[in-house]
Amino acid sequence: MARYRCECGKDIIIRNTTLKVVKGKVVSPEAYCETCKSYGKHIKEHEGFGGIISKKGGKVGGKI
């Protein structure tokens, strides 16, 4: 599921999304807010994993 937040502060949760180009910006039509007449901005929920630890000789971390 994707979470979007519009300009009025309302959270929009969408299960399936599509992408569309509107006025030079990529938006999701499902994230349109009727209250403030704008598209919601995507909220990133996962910040990712840590960086890769490299060892001598170009090996990537792990026991060998």
Structure confidence by residue, pLDDT tens digits, 1-13:
889 999 998 888 9
CB-hemisphere CA count at 13 Å for 61?
A: 5
Structure tokens at 57: 């000789």
Q: Compute how many other C-beta atoms are within 10 angstroms of the C-beta atom of residue 30.
A: 16
Q: pLDDT band for 62, please (50, 70, 90 cuts).
A: low
- The pLDDT tens digits of the residues spanning 37-58 come to 989 898 887 777 777 777 777 7
Q: Tell me what pLDDT residue 21 has.
A: 93
pTM above 0.75, yes or no: no
Residue 13 buriedness (CB in 10 A; 0-12 / 13-18 / 19+): exposed
